[in-house]
């Protein structure tokens, strides 16, 4: 059974969905004012894998992930560039899909935008005002934190501690320094919508409450996001939502750790971040390879802990994946010698069981991946003894099936080596095959000078040759 570390309870809880075989999850997406960096990729990937694993485990998953498309940073960006906010958000939403698509991150079931839910947001704000949990001052509406006694239960903070540590300028109009905006009066030139308190725009936290409740119901299963969202964002979401509905909000709160660079948090403010597209542009590997390498790399650390981003880490991930795809290539070859081996099925079953056990343990992807490494080892050994064509296909399918949970091993063909020129090889596959025939004829004649010359020629095009015992060769690049 799947257990998940729940920030709310501070421990690993068995996952039991509200409705049998149905899981409803909401994940805080991105504010679309810039390109996504690796940190966004990690978060998106973690919840993509959670969703895939729930589906693999037999759940029908309703997965909602929002776009924050109204915000101070967007307004600022639009003003800097002299374009409309819509132009900014449209651009970066497109970029988001492009980047995440390269990473193999599947779109959520629903991906709502804040600006499409203004009426829901206004309605929820009104409810909170009516219930006396929020108050109106000069066109702004604030949530009154001390009216919600459970405030701080997610982040394990006491109101007094927050007050003592507050480094923000205190807005005198607020009843309590920690009170936060549900609705903000718009200044001239800012996006604005009509409301009972005058023209304005939503605060940040309320959109997630309004959209998650609208699309998933007042109480749903999983709510996720980066560690940094625990406070204040998720704490505020809980206060608003529970305050408005009087019911429990999300039951499992899942938070992923940060991507760091040189042991430091990667962030915009530190300027030490890498965007996803930078990684792809910089990479000497093909797009498919880079996407899978990045996935493998990100999944080789448990989602809850920090992850140090480095070229070396990426390279190690690539090497590890090459081991898998090398095996897949061999599995594609028709049998030569058949030694019936009944172990294959048990080896696969054992691997699947171990894989599930690891994933059940709070999505322990590093262990899950290592179980697949063990399967690779086992299948390689069986291949030495001899597997029939059917068994080879069976083995390949097992990797494909289990790998699909992690989004790995789905490619038919993997470009191993570095490209000479971005986008183009010198030699086509048929030309390579012809060269190999030529080389093997030379080998038969023991003309090894000629054979090695051809090898060098192909190597210059990024191709590695592997000679098989039967005198033919396979190649990869």
Partner RNA sequence: GGCGCCGUACCCAAGUGGCUAAGGGAGCAGUCUGCAAAACUGCGAUGCAGCGGUUCGAACCCGCUCGGCGCCUCCA
Residues 384 to 413 in contact with RNA, rule: CB under 7 A: 384
Q: Supply the DSSP string of 399-438, one letter for each residue.
A: HHHHHHHHT-S--SS---S--SBTTB-SS-HHHHHHHHHH
- Beta-bridge partners for 260: 265, 308
29 vs 243, beta carbon nearer RNA: 29
- Between strands 60-68 and 250-256, the pairing is unpaired
∠278-280-282 over CA atoms, to 5°?
65
Cβ proximity of 117 and 70 under 8 Å: no
247 vs 315, beta carbon nearer RNA: 315
Q: Which of 377, 397, 433, 441 binds RNA (CB under 7 A)?
A: 377
312 vs 430, beta carbon nearer RNA: 312
Cβ proximity of 44 and 50 under 8 Å: no
Q: Which of 104, 200, 202, 226 binds RNA (CB under 7 A)?
A: 226
Q: How far is the CB of 231 from RNA (least distance, A)?
A: 4
Applying CB under 7 A, the span of 104-112, 119-127, 239-247, 255-263 interacting with RNA comes to 255-263
Q: How far is the CB of 313 from RNA (least distance, A)?
A: 5
126 vs 180, beta carbon nearer RNA: 180
28 counts as binding RNA under rule CB under 7 A: yes
Cα–Cα distance measured from residue 289 to residue 280, given in angstroms and rounded to the nearest whole number: 10
300 counts as binding RNA under rule CB under 7 A: yes
Q: Which of 175, 247, 268, 445 binds RNA (CB under 7 A)?
A: 268
Cα–Cα distance measured from residue 202 to residue 123, given in angstroms and rounded to the nearest whole number: 11
Cβ proximity of 128 and 196 under 8 Å: no
Per-position x/- string for 110-149, each x denoting binding to RNA as judged by CB under 7 A, each - no binding:
----------------------------------------
135 vs 303, beta carbon nearer RNA: 303
Site for RNA in 146-165 (CB under 7 A): 155-158, 161-162, 164-165
Site for RNA in 232-251 (CB under 7 A): 232-233
Strands (E), 125-247: 134-137, 140-143, 180-185, 200-202, 220-226
Cα–Cα distance measured from residue 122 to residue 137, given in angstroms and rounded to the nearest whole number: 15
* Neighbour tally for 208: CB within 10 Å: 27
11 counts as binding RNA under rule CB under 7 A: no
Residue identified by tokens 């390109």 is 35
């Amino acid at each position: 059974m799947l257990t998940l570390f729940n920030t709310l309870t501070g421990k690993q809880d068995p996952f039991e969905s509200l409705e049998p075989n149905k899981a409803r999850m909401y994940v805080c997406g991105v504010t679309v004012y810039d390109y996504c960096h690796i940190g966004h990729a990690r978060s998106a990937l973690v919840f993509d894998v959670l969703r895939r694993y729930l589906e693999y485990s037999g759940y029908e998953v309703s997965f909602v992930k929002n776009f924050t498309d109204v915000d101070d940073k967007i307004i600022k960006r639009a003003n800097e560039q002299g374009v409309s906010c819509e132009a900014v958000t449209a651009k970066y939403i497109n970029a988001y899909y492009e980047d995440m698509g390269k990473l193999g991150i599947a779109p959520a079931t629903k991906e709502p935008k804040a600006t499409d839910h203004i009426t829901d947001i206004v309605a929820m704000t009104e409810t909170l005002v009516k219930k006396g949990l929020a108050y109106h001052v000069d066109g702004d509406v604030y949530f009154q934190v001390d009216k919600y006694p459970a405030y701080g239960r997610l982040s394990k903070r006491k109101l007094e501690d927050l007050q003592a540590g507050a480094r923000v300028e205190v807005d005198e109009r607020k009843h309590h320094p920690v009170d936060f905006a549900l609705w903000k009066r718009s200044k001239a030139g800012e996006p604005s919508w009509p409301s009972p308190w005058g023209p304005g725009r939503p605060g940040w936290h309320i959109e997630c409450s309004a959209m998650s409740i609208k699309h998933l119901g007042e109480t749903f299963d999983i709510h996720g996001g980066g560690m940094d969202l625990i406070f204040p964002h998720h704490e505020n979401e809980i206060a608003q939502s529970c305050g408005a509905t009087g019911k429990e909000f999300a039951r499992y709160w899942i938070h992923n750790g940060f991507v760091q660079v040189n042991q430091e948090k990667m962030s915009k403010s530190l300027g030490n971040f890498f965007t996803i597209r930078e990684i792809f542009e910089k990479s000497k590997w093909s797009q498919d390879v880079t996407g899978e390498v990045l996935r493998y790399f990100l999944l080789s650390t448990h989602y809850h802990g920090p992850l140090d981003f480095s070229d070396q880490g990426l390279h190690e991930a690539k090497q590890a994946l090459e081991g898998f795809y090398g095996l897949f290539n061999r599995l594609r070859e028709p049998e030569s010698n058949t030694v019936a081996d009944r172990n294959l099925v048990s080896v696969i079953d054992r691997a699947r069981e171990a894989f599930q056990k690891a994933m059940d343990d709070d999505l322990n992807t590093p262990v899950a991946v290592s179980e697949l490494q063990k399967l690779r080892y086992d299948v390689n050994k069986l291949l030495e003894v001899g597997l029939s064509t059917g068994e080879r296909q069976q083995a390949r399918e097992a990797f494909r099936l289990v790998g699909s949970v992690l989004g790995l091993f789905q490619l038919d063909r993997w470009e191993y080596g570095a490209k000479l020129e971005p986008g183009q090889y010198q030699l086509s596959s048929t030309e390579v095959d012809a060269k190999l025939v030529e080389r093997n004829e030379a080998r038969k004649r023991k003309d090894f000078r000629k054979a090695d010359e051809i090898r060098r020629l192909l190597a210059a095009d990024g191709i590695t040759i592997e000679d098989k015992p039967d005198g033919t060769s396979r190649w990869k690049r």
